[in-house]
């Protein structure tokens, strides 16, 4: 697709050598390396198996890892008794790409969390040519791939910054990795520092994307993947120079629309009639495409991966809202108990209405701020705030968002926090979305267990 760049800054010319390397590179499932092939192998694996993931980090269950590792172009050898997803660096890097691209999403299936392939996004992926697949995955790595999705935290500094900042080390000289106890040479120290800063899954991705060439050997007893040598490839040097000559960082501050969307206000915002240029927001991938093609490179890159438009979900939302509390059994003995309420609420109501329903169900006064925290389809944490909260504009306010527009799925786990001082933290699970009920006009409790705790202790002042 064509792009118009306004106020384009002066670009430094790309070296003739780098332009030649990039122009002559053939892109296929296995060239410049096997990133596309392994990505599609991972997708096929998810289609063949119901791959379970953990509830909190959503990491792949260990029982699938050895089989998946054996199917990849670069299977790694490790000597861990209890390997985890992160033990297999190529699997871990590819997993982050699958989640960041939204081709793979976590869904609930018979009370198990399953890493599933989104058929609509997969269809879009299958419509791309080889060069489009390669650069869409590169854009995913640059802008979206992050271990933050496994840490239940908001997205911080992208890992790509560490890749770029450490590139100069390997671009200048080949790196050798040996046991520090037997070799304390400056090169060895620099190599291991580079390795520790990057993290092994980013090293694996640099290899899969064709940026670097790696050599490895058998692991030490009880240890993981053991690298021996690494060097930058001509293609990697050329592509890194291309990135240096472009303003790819624009995409970091112009991310694609969130899965969350808000009902239009009754009155439109004022429009500045002096503006005669309509600027359409580009996705980060489109920005990268624009930057590269402004230097007359990769004309075959025309299309990009498309994510589904947010859809409304009409009906009756049934949530199970749980609260852990301590009950005094004797003078010096307490036990932890979980009390819960099942709340049915029609989809035309707002998240503020849902918040009020939770508080009413637990006999709390609605006299403090609140927030809902959940993960979007790419695994990143989102917060929706009480309308009086000052910092909630990024993800929205609870009085603006209807339940029907909240992009969550059955089985999703949500955290509801009420009163930022006392910090009452409720666990919320969307159990079902039932057919609309014209008789149900407001939220109601349909099941419950346990006695609600006192909102304020005897010594608290209201």
Residue 462: per-residue pLDDT: 47
Q: Where are the beta strands (DSSP E) in 29-130?
A: 51-52, 104-109, 112-117
Write phi, then psi, for 447 (nearest 5 degrees): -150, 155
Q: N- to C-terminal Cα distance for the chain?
A: 60
Q: State the pTM of this model.
A: 0.84
Compute the chain's Rg from CA coordinates. Answer: 25
Buried-exposed string 273-311: b where 16+ CB fall within 10 A, e elsewhere: eeeeeeeeebbbbbbbbbbbbeeebbeebeebbebeeee
Q: How far is CA 58 from CA 316, 376, 392, in A?
A: 27, 13, 26
Per-residue pLDDT in tens (0 to 9) along the chain, 462 residues: 433 333 345 667 899 999 999 999 999 999 999 999 999 999 999 999 999 999 888 999 999 999 999 999 999 999 999 999 999 999 999 999 999 999 999 988 888 899 999 999 999 999 999 999 999 999 999 999 888 888 766 556 678 988 999 999 999 999 998 754 444 455 677 888 898 889 999 999 999 999 999 999 999 999 999 999 999 999 999 999 999 999 999 988 755 344 333 343 333 333 333 433 434 578 999 999 999 999 999 999 999 999 888 889 999 999 999 999 887 667 677 788 999 999 999 999 999 999 999 999 999 999 999 999 998 888 888 899 999 987 655 688 999 999 999 989 888 889 999 999 999 999 999 999 999 999 999 999 999 999 999 998 765 544
Cis link prior to 32 (omega < 30° from 0)? yes
CA 142, chain centre distance (Å):
12
Determine the Cα–Cα distance for residues 372 and 366; give it in Å rounded to an integer: 15
Under DSSP, the state recorded for 436 is P
pLDDT of residue 261: 38
Residues in a beta bridge with 373:
383, 415
Structure tokens at 383: 């917060």
Angle at 11 between CA 6 and CA 15, to 5 degrees: 145
At residue 3, the pLDDT reads 38
Residue with tokens 């993931």: 53
Q: In what order do the strands lie in the sheet with 175-176?
A: 175-176, 226-232, 212-217
| Rounded Cα distance, 274 and 282, in Å | 23
């Amino acid at each position: 697709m064509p792009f118009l760049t306004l106020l384009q800054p002066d670009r430094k010319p790309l070296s003739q050598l780098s332009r030649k390397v990039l122009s002559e590179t053939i892109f296929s499932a296995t060239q410049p390396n096997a990133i596309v092939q392994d990505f599609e192998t991972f997708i096929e694996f998810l289609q063949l198996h119901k791959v379970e993931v953990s509830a909190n980090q959503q990491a792949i269950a260990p029982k699938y890892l050895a089989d998946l590792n054996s199917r990849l172009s670069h299977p790694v050898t490790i000597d861990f008794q209890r390997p985890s997803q992160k033990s297999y660096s190529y699997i871990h890097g590819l997993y982050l790409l699958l989640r960041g691209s939204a081709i793979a999403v976590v869904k609930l299936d018979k009370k198990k969390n399953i890493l599933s392939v989104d058929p609509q996004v997969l269809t879009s992926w299958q419509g791309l040519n080889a060069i489009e697949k390669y650069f869409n995955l590169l854009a995913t790595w640059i802008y979206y791939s992050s271990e933050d999705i496994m840490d239940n935290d908001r997205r911080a500094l992208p890992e790509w910054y560490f890749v770029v900042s450490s590139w100069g080390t390997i671009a200048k000289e080949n790196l050798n990795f040996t046991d520090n106890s037997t070799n304390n040479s400056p090169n060895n120290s620099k190599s291991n520092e580079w390795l520790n800063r990057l993290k092994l899954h980013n090293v694996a991705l640099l290899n899969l994307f064709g940026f670097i060439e790696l050599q490895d050997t058998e692991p030490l007893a009880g240890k993981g993947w053991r690298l021996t040598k690494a060097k930058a490839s001509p293609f990697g040097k050329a592509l890194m120079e291309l990135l240096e000559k472009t303003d790819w960082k624009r995409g970091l501050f112009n991310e694609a629309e969130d899965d969350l969307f808000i009902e239009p206000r009754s009155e439109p915002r004022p429009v500045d009639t002096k503006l005669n240029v309509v600027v359409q927001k580009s996705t980060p991938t489109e920005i990268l495409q624009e930057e590269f093609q402004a230097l007359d490179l990769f004309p075959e890159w025309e299309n990009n991966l498309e994510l589904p438009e947010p859809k409304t979900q009409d009906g009756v939302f049934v949530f199970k809202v749980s609260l852990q509390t301590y009950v005094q059994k004797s003078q010096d003995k307490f036990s932890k108990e979980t009390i819960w309420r099942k709340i049915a609420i029609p989809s035309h109501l707002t998240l503020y209405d849902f918040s009020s329903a939770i508080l009413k169900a637990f006999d709390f006064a609605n006299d403090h701020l609140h927030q809902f925290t959940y993960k979007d389809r790419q695994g990143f944490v989102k917060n929706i705030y009480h309308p009086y909260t000052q910092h909630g504009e990024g993800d929205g306010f609870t009085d603006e968002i209807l339940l029907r527009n909240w992009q969550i799925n059955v089985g999703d786990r949500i955290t509801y926090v009420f009163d930022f001082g006392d910090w009452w933290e409720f666990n919320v699970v969307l159990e079902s979305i039932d057919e609309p009920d014209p008789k149900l006009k407001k939220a109601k409790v349909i099941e419950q267990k346990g006695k609600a705790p006192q909102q304020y202790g005897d010594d608290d002042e209201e």
